[in-house]
Amino acid sequence: MSALETAPIEEFVAELVARALRQGADAAQARAVSNRYFEIDFNNRGVELLRSTENETTTLTLFCAGKRGAANLNGRAANEIEAALLAARAAADAGLADAANDVAEAVSEPASAHGPQAPDREAMAAGVDAFNATLAADHPLVRSRDCVYSFSDAETAFANSKGVRQKERRGGYNFAGMITARDRGRTSSINYSSAGSRAPFASLFDAGSMRRLVRDAPRLLEPAPVPEKFIGDVIIAPDCLATVVGALASALSGGQLFTGATPYKNRKGERIASPLFSLSNRPRDAGFALGADFDAWGVPTQNLDIVRDGVLDAFLIDLFFARKLGVAQTAGAHNFSVKPGEKSLDDIIASTKRGILFSRYSGGAPNSNLDFSGIAKNSFYVEDGRVLHALDETMVSGNFQELLQNIHAVSREYVNFGNSSYPFVAASGVTISSK
């Protein structure tokens, strides 16, 4: 076994960079992630699978004469390392010269560590048992499937030829579960939620929106269509808001700005949403189970406001596109957070004339213009301030640009998913139709 196979991860990535330079690269960077993972996979009938894996993946990027190429490998077999060095070099030689191609200059920070290093298996097993026992006792119509209670401990190291060195370790738990209700031959739509935590969950019902979803599932067995096609309000649930934020983040990315295929180009400082809407990116916020202290280029991350009181404050641009665009980099998109409001969810529902409580979006990916259309899954019809019934085969259509402008309420309740935090958000102007 060679010394490199057993070297600490930070020495491994530094040695890869050194070898790349010795082989003639002008610049190089290497990023390795060593991950130990354990999961319990279960459903309401019991445990199906326990899974333990260990893997280390490394991305090696070389720069030659302004051209860039990369190779990914896993493990540290000597022949694979050599093959990856050759593959990255061949890719770089075949690349297209671009002034934006180079490694980053950045401050090297002290190594950091977050969360536990090993799973508390007994606590995880107890959590699974308690979840299934409560589900059976208190929610007899609800079934679960593909429930995965997992633990991951990942060590990440970065090195580049400008001397940047970074290292962090993150350990934590995650629970993701699907649920449905079934009664006398009727089945409700699947619903799901997931969340991360640095400690074992006190109850798996506390993960994400799971408790609310389990509570609501039996009501979904008796869905009905909306009375007629109408343009109304949507009260977007926290799990569903992730779809809106994801579409917005993509539209604000460096890649989209570079192409021009985004409605938000040149709109920094402009109002792009209701003053009630504020979105921040918080990779270093200890209030989240996940995060990152540095990005794929080894640049330290920073917490920053993206949309402040409806005004576009920052884009999400990595090093390459920052250079292409001639703007500042905003390293690392993790832990999006939408600022909670002051109204309760009950008050928002009570003030809704006609609309839906929009729990899950199942639809086509929004296009560059942020038009969307899809099914409102696991959702409820709201009229004159009351939730009347679950929705059957109901489609929603609109545009996320307009929807953000049309937000008229944000709830004080919110859900921390471990990698994001979202409240309920109410907006108007969405086309709602059933068959």
Partner 1 sequence: MLERLAAFAEKFTGPAELRWHANHSVAAAIRKGALVENSQSRASGISARVFENGVFGFAAFAEEDDAALTKAMETARSDAGFMKGRSATPRELARPQAIGEGRFDYRSPRPAATPKERVEILKVLDEAARAKYPELVNVDLSLSAHTSEKALATFEGARAYSYVPRAVLSVRMSLEANDGLVELYDARGGFGEIQDQDFSLAALSSWLDGLHEELRRKAEGGQCEAGEHDVVLDSDLAGILAHEAIGHTCEGDLVLAGSIAGDNLGARVASEKITLGDYAGRGPDGKSTFAIHVDDEGAVCRDVTIIENGVLRGFLHSRRTAAELGAEVTGNARAFSFLDEPLVRMRNTAILPGKDRLEDMIAAVDHGYYFKRATNGQADLTSEFMFGVSLGYEIRKGKLARGVRDTTISGTAFDMLKTVTHVGDSFKWSGAGNWCGKKQPIAVGTGGPAIKCRIRVGGRA
Residues 226-245 binding partner 1 (CB under 8 A) are: 229
Decide if 259 contacts 376 (C-beta within 8 A). Answer: no
Q: Is 418 in the site for partner 1 (CB under 8 A)?
A: no
User: Binding mask 269-298 vs partner 1 (x if CB under 8 A, - otherwise)?
Assistant: ------------------------------
User: Binding mask 69-108 vs partner 1 (x if CB under 8 A, - otherwise)?
Assistant: xxxxxxx-x--x--xx--xx-xxxxxxx-x-x--------
Separation of alpha carbons 190 and 145, rounded Å? 9
The window from 111-119, 158-166, 181-189, 415-423 that contacts partner 1 (CB under 8 A) reads: 181-189
Phi, psi of 221 (to 5 degrees): -75, -15
Decide if 73 contacts 84 (C-beta within 8 A). Answer: yes
* Signed CA dihedral, 243, 249, 252, 258: sign only: negative
Burial class (CB in 10 A: 0-12, 13-18, 19+), 346: exposed
Q: Whole-number minimum distance, CB 346 to partner 1, in Å?
A: 29
Q: Is 66 in the site for partner 1 (CB under 8 A)?
A: no
Indicate the residue among 57 and 117 with the shorter CB distance to partner 1: 57
Binding residues for partner 1 restricted to 10-39, rule: CB under 8 A: 37
What amino acid occupies position 175? Answer: F
Q: Whole-number minimum distance, CB 243 to partner 1, in Å?
A: 12
Q: Is 397 in the site for partner 1 (CB under 8 A)?
A: yes
Nearest Cα neighbor of 28 from 297, 294, 295 is 297
Q: Is 199 in the site for partner 1 (CB under 8 A)?
A: no
Interface residue with partner 1, options 134, 303, 373, 405 (CB under 8 A): 373
Q: Is 125 in the site for partner 1 (CB under 8 A)?
A: yes
Decide if 92 contacts 64 (C-beta within 8 A). Answer: yes
Decide if 394 contacts 379 (C-beta within 8 A). Answer: yes
Indicate the residue among 340 and 363 with the shorter CB distance to partner 1: 363
Binding residues for partner 1 restricted to 134-153, rule: CB under 8 A: 143, 145-146, 148
List the structure tokens of 69. 């190429």
The window from 7-15, 102-110, 186-194, 236-244 that contacts partner 1 (CB under 8 A) reads: 186-194
Q: Is 367 in the site for partner 1 (CB under 8 A)?
A: yes
List the structure tokens of 133. 């026992």
Q: Whole-number minimum distance, CB 378 to partner 1, in Å?
A: 10
Decide if 246 contacts 281 (C-beta within 8 A). Answer: no
Separation of alpha carbons 263 and 266, rounded Å? 9
Q: Whole-number minimum distance, CB 390 to partner 1, in Å?
A: 12
